[in-house]
């Protein structure tokens, strides 16, 4: 191995740190191999296999129509205290327990809660928590479109967020203020007919 008689200047605090790490301090020649090894390790190229992007895992839990990819987090709460589970492989894991969504939703309480309404989901790579029944509605709409012959939506890593905005539109019901277009509805039609009859009267 060829050696060059030259000087390399290193900060004093770096030499001190290397000495504390190796037990050999400057100017002892025993410190030189450790410095050389550190430089070689820094220059060592990353193997090609490690540079390739990791293929997305196909593991996950199939919950009726909704597929929960591995890494999906589940959240439920009881008495305002949240508790969490995660999809590992093809199972929903709560600590060491493997649970169904219904069992997870009813870990606490009377045991009659609807899992679709009690569980919120956060998919891998997402920061948003979505209620499970919203994911189911969006997935059902996507399936219906597929069978009607409409082109499928672009592939996404968050399958249950398809049409999530459409699925979140409020339906008419108690406490929901649904605004109608001006001049529509039965009352408006009756008013227009009455006005028309008055105009036609002699």
> Which residues are registered as beta bridge partners of 84?
75
pLDDT digits (tens, 9 = 90+) for 83-97: 999 999 999 999 999
CA distances in angstroms from 158 to 5, 112, 175, 191, listed in the order given: 60, 29, 31, 49
pLDDT at 177: 43
Q: Please check the confidence at residue 185 and state whether its pLDDT lies above 60.
A: no
Give me the mean pLDDT over the 48-65 stretch. 72
Can you tell me the distance from the alpha carbon of 107 to that of 73, in angstroms, rounded to the nearest whole number? 16
Give me the mean pLDDT over the 127-134 stretch. 92
Can you tell me the distance from the alpha carbon of 160 to that of 166, in angstroms, rounded to the nearest whole number? 12
Q: Please check the confidence at residue 23 and state whether its pLDDT lies above 50.
A: yes
Find how far residue 200's CA is from the centre of its chain: 64
Closest residue by Cα to residue 57 from 121, 123, 119: 123
Domain residue spans of the chain: 12-39, 60-129
Average per-residue pLDDT in the chain? 76
Beta pairing class for 60-63 and 66-69: antiparallel
- What length is written for the chain? 202
Residue 85 contacts residue 98 (beta carbons within 8 Å): no
Compute how many other C-beta atoms are within 10 angstroms of the C-beta atom of residue 62: 9
Using pLDDT thresholds of 50, 70 and 90, give the confidence band for residue 179: very low
pLDDT digits (tens, 9 = 90+) for 27-49: 787 778 888 878 877 787 666 55
pTM (2 d.p.): 0.50
Using pLDDT thresholds of 50, 70 and 90, give the confidence band for residue 200: low
Using pLDDT thresholds of 50, 70 and 90, give the confidence band for residue 166: very low
Using pLDDT thresholds of 50, 70 and 90, give the confidence band for residue 174: very low
């Amino acid at each position: 191995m060829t050696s060059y008689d030259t000087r390399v200047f290193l900060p004093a605090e770096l030499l001190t740190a290397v000495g504390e790490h190796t037990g050999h301090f400057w100017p002892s020649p025993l410190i030189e191999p450790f410095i050389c090894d550190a430089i070689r390790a820094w220059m060592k190229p990353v193997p090609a296999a490690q540079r390739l992007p990791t293929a997305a895992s196909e593991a996950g839990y199939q919950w009726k129509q909704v597929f929960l990819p591995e890494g999906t987090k589940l959240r439920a709460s009881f008495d305002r205290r949240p508790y969490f589970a995660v999809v590992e492989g093809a199972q929903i894991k709560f600590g060491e327990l493997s649970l169904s969504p219904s069992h997870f939703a009813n870990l606490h309480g009377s045991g009659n809660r609807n899992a679709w309404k009690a569980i919120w989901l956060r998919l891998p790579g997402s920061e948003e928590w979505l209620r499970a029944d919203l994911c189911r509605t969006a997935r059902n709409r996507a399936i219906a479109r597929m069978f009607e012959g409409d082109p499928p939506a672009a592939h996404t890593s968050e399958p249950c967020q398809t049409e999530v905005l459409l699925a979140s539109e409020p339906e008419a019901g108690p406490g929901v203020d649904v605004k109608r277009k001006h001049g529509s509805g039965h009352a408006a039609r009756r008013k227009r007919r009455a006005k028309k009859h008055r105009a036609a009267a002699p």
